[in-house]
Amino acid sequence: MMECGLCEIDITPPMGFAIPGYFTPRPALGIKDNLYVKAVVIGDGHNFTAIIVLDTIGIEKEEVDAIRNRVTEATEIPASHILVAATHTHTGGPIYRDRDSNGDEYTAYLVKKAADAAVLAYGNKRKAQIGFAKGKAEGISFNRRYFMQDGSLRTNPGFNKPDIVKPAGPIDSDVFVIRLDAEDGSPLGVITNFACHPDTIGGKRYSADFPGEISRVLKAVYGESFISLFLNGACGNINHLDFMHNVRPEPDAFRQLGRVLAGEVIKTREKAIKENSFHIEGRSKLLSLNVRKPSPEDLLKAKELIHASEHPENKKAIPEVDIFFAKQLLALSERQETEAFVEIQALRIGASAIAAFPCELFVEFGHDLKQRSPSPHTLIATYANGVNGYVATREAFVHGGYETRLTSRTRLAPDSGERMVETALGLLQQLCSSDGGIKIE
């Protein structure tokens, strides 16, 4: 018989802490809705996996390792079976130590709370039934990169511009659902997987964005004890804005997104075929990737721009985004980094598999992996087990755009996405053949 335990803990920071996600810090002045860390532990009595999801913009590898160590010490769940992911909300607390003075304090707090959530979920485990299904959510996500009439490519080019030709890539409307029920069929929780940037709110109030709205709707339907975990898919070039047809952002877009997705989760959950006995396993691999370096010419320009920005008369003339990227080049140049080691992880939960990537993966890689995966239900978890910025396609590097600009985190070589996908597929093949292969009734 399968076992399952869930837990959620409030991780809303104090007022005044900086909210990351834009080019300058935003001190928090209020709370739109609370932030949480949520954990689910699933096992067969012998093998267990833990999935931990935080309402943050990311989670650095150092913190992931610390969380895993605490969970393993308390539960004996091996690190390779523990996935730690962020929803990527752009209205969460500070988690980058190099960007904010409160980073150390808050990340230390997050490590403890994230580990506590998994340990408590392990302690709460009970006999359970688990099911898997896939739905669709159309018309709420859009590729944010566009080809323009002058041959250029622009990210978020502005609404209804006459010189927009077409989107530069696809979207992914798949909604994967893992249904979690008690032995008697009463609802315990759900894991949802969908690809879209949670950057719909802005401002200076904490919010879990649309994953938080999904949770509120599902609690209203299934009860306050129902726990909703959201794993973000390959959404590095996907957001909620339809620049070709709308004239302005939708007000409270996070509510619309959350409610549409919650509705699809409810519908899809009811179609899930429940099982009470299956295979649990996890594997991970550290992958060595080449890193890009700023050229001497770019470094010189960056230094000149920063120097110019320090003069009072230039403060408003030089855009903050240019200053941000200039400082990022200098920060990257100071690191004597010749390669980056990133973790690729795969979990198998019966007929479902999860491939986890520590980056903002472009949607094209998600399509490729799902089409080639040996599992019929393959979830893709990005912003998981580390922070390595955007991982774009080779074609995107040719066209350029915001997501390919070099920073202290977005620095991996153009072949990185392909190598990540191949590594994940290798892990999935191992997992799906370890007991004779996945069987679908």
**What pLDDT, on a 0 to 100 scale, did the predictor assign at position 439?**
41
CA trace torsion 311, 312, 316, 317 (10° rounding): -40
Q: What is the 3-state secondary structure (H, E, C) of 422-437?
A: HHHHHHHHHHHHCCCC
**What pLDDT, on a 0 to 100 scale, did the predictor assign at position 25?**
78
Hey, what are 163's tokens? Answer: 């010189």
**What pLDDT, on a 0 to 100 scale, did the predictor assign at position 100?**
64
Q: What is the pLDDT along the chain (441 residues), one digit of tens a residue?
A: 799 999 999 999 999 999 999 988 799 999 999 999 999 999 998 899 999 999 999 999 999 999 999 999 999 999 999 999 999 999 999 987 655 677 788 999 999 999 999 999 999 999 999 999 999 999 999 999 999 999 999 999 999 899 999 999 999 999 999 999 999 999 999 999 999 999 999 999 999 999 999 999 999 999 999 999 999 999 999 999 999 998 888 888 999 999 999 999 999 999 998 876 678 999 999 999 999 999 999 999 999 999 998 888 777 788 888 999 999 999 999 888 889 999 999 999 988 999 999 999 999 999 999 999 999 899 999 999 999 999 999 999 999 999 999 999 999 999 999 999 999 999 999 998 876 554 433
**What pLDDT, on a 0 to 100 scale, did the predictor assign at position 99?**
56
Residue 300 φ then ψ, to 5°: -65, -45
pTM of the model as a whole: 0.96
**What pLDDT, on a 0 to 100 scale, did the predictor assign at position 274?**
80
Residue boundaries of the structural domains of the chain: 2-284+340-395+412-433, 292-336
**What pLDDT, on a 0 to 100 scale, did the predictor assign at position 441?**
36
**What pLDDT, on a 0 to 100 scale, did the predictor assign at position 188?**
98
